[in-house]
Amino acid sequence: MVDEPSGEPTLPYACPWGTGEPSQFSELRSGTGIDKLPTSTGDSAWLVTNYDGVRAMCNDLRVGKSHVDPPHAPRLWDAALMEPQSGHADEFTDHTRWRHALSRPFSSRRLSQLRPRLEILLQDIVTDRLADGPPVDVCAGIAQPFAATVICDLLGIPQELRPALVQWSDAARTYGMTEAATARRDVLLREIDAVLKKIRDQPDGPLRDSGLLSDFALTPPDSVQLQDDKLARAILDIFLAGYDTVATRMSYGTAFLLDHPEQLAELRDDPSLLDGAVEEIFRLAVPGGGYICRYAHSDMPLPDAPIKAGDLIVLSFQSANRDEQVFIDATRFDVRRRPNPHIAFGHGTFYCLGAALARLELSVYLAGLSRFPALRRAHPTYEHDLAHDKVTGGLRQLLIAWDTPSA
């Protein structure tokens, strides 16, 4: 979050800890729900804050992720994440092809078979941390290694490339690191390309059956085949979309439950509450503000917003998921909330490809967490640990402790 020299807050607004939201959101929602506001880069954007407005915009084929002139497109922030895309003329055709090529490996049915493997992975990580003794940092000690390993295994990323992917993902989400992140991405694209070639050169080599990369290298999807440059790009995009998002929900979810010990106890006693807890974490754990950028592809003369072609439109999923018109007592964390029609995974054309995977990861994690009876947080507040240098926010650390039996 960067403020203008005048001190006027600009988008993205500073996001407080927890289930709250930037102070501006509730006022904006109670107005038209779509407002033209200055951004941290000196541009302006249409910010959409209410639930119906965000959903409608997600379904509107006049808005996409590309811009006719990406280098000069208005921006929300100086960070590589959600840069305006090129390929304006063919965006939706290319996107349909891309979705088609990737949707099968990410289907709920295929992913549900992964549960036992994820349970073992979590168990191994937690066992190591328990051996370290309290306090344990949930972020660096459990959530990040778990989320990174799950997505890298699924994609088939060789071990030696994994640390570089994590570093690039951090850089892409950090203010002021746009160029550095882009340079790192270009190196990674070349390295992924080299892996694809290696798999093809040695179809029976050690990378065979390693994951999506080898599946795609050896047996391209029947009807739709992504070119190698698009494939390497897709692999990186999926890592970026599926690593930190999950890790931050794991740490926020832990904090919410530790701050609501009665709900954690209910979860322990009644595993049927698990799915509801996962959904409530997705609704409320939106570090950073849950901003998603879009560009108008044509003029859109809406009653409250004379949007012009090329304008930046910013959707806040955090605000939409706290809309009191839809969610009663919206900032209250409640694992029993029914119904819970949150749109944490988006809606419509760009609906999250990894929603089923994210649900599985959180479900495995919460089931594991709820089995530990004596957990507590090891620091009194979270405010000092918020990652304000990241456009996606999140906690820098979350220390937890437990009572060890006295000798």
Binding interface with ligand HEM (CB under 6 A): 58, 99, 106, 237-238, 241-242, 245-246, 249, 282, 292, 317, 344-346, 350, 352-354, 357-358
**Least CB distance to ligand HEM at residue 129 (A):** 22
Residue 193 and residue 222: Cα distance in Å, rounded? 21
Considering beta carbons, is residue 174 or 248 the nearer one to ligand HEM?
A: 248
Enumerate the β-bridge partners of residue 305. 302
Q: Please name which of 314, 170, 303 lies closest in space to residue 243, comparing C-alpha atoms.
A: 170
**Least CB distance to ligand HEM at residue 204 (A):** 28
Q: Please name which of 277, 243, 250 lies closest in space to residue 142, comparing C-alpha atoms.
A: 250
Considering beta carbons, is residue 88 or 198 the nearer one to ligand HEM?
A: 88
Give the DSSP letter string of 336-354: T-SS----TT--GGG--TT
Q: Please name which of 173, 129, 209, 180 lies closest in space to residue 1, comparing C-alpha atoms.
A: 173
Peptide bond into 261 cis (omega under 30): no
Considering beta carbons, is residue 141 or 287 the nearer one to ligand HEM?
A: 287
Enumerate the β-bridge partners of residue 84. none
**Contact predicate 83/70, CB 8 Å:** yes
**Least CB distance to ligand HEM at residue 255 (A):** 15
CB closest to ligand HEM, residue no: 354
**Contact predicate 44/312, CB 8 Å:** yes
Residue 205 and residue 228: Cα distance in Å, rounded? 19
**Least CB distance to ligand HEM at residue 6 (A):** 31
Considering beta carbons, is residue 22 or 288 the nearer one to ligand HEM?
A: 288
Considering beta carbons, is residue 278 or 400 the nearer one to ligand HEM?
A: 278
* Dihedrals phi, psi of 24, to nearest 5 degrees: -70, -25
* Phi-psi sector, 40: left (phi>0), alpha (psi -120 to 50), beta: alpha
For the chain, the C-alpha Rg in angstroms (whole number) is 21
Considering beta carbons, is residue 9 or 311 the nearer one to ligand HEM?
A: 311
**Least CB distance to ligand HEM at residue 266 (A):** 22
**Least CB distance to ligand HEM at residue 291 (A):** 10
Considering beta carbons, is residue 9 or 157 the nearer one to ligand HEM?
A: 157
Residue 289 and residue 16: Cα distance in Å, rounded? 9
**Least CB distance to ligand HEM at residue 352 (A):** 3
Considering beta carbons, is residue 178 or 245 the nearer one to ligand HEM?
A: 245
Residue 20, helix vs strand vs coil: coil
**Least CB distance to ligand HEM at residue 349 (A):** 7
